[in-house]
Amino acid sequence: MSRIGKKSILIPSNVTVNLLKDNTVVVKGPKGELSQTLDRDITVHIESSELTLNRPTEQIRHKALHGLYRSLLSNLVIGVTTGYKRNLELVGVGYKASNVGNTLDLALGYSHNIIFEIPNELKVTTLTEKGKNPLITLEGTDKQLIGQVAAKLRSLRKPEPYKGKGVKYSEEVLRRKAGKAAGK
Set out the domains of the chain in order of their start, with CATH numbers: 2-81 (3.90.930.12), 84-169 (3.90.930.12)
Q: Which secondary structure element, helix H or strand E, spans residue 90, and what is its range?
A: strand 84-91
Nearest to 73 by CA among 15, 16, 25, 30: 25
pLDDT at 84 (0 to 100): 95
- What pLDDT is recorded for position 184? 58
pLDDT at 26: 94
Q: Considering the entire predicted model, what is its pTM?
A: 0.88
Supply the pLDDT for residue 180: 82
> Which mean pLDDT values do the consecutive 10-residue runs of the chain (184 residues) have?
81 91 92 92 89 90 91 94 95 92 93 94 93 94 95 94 92 88 64
Contact 114, 106 (CB under 8 A): yes
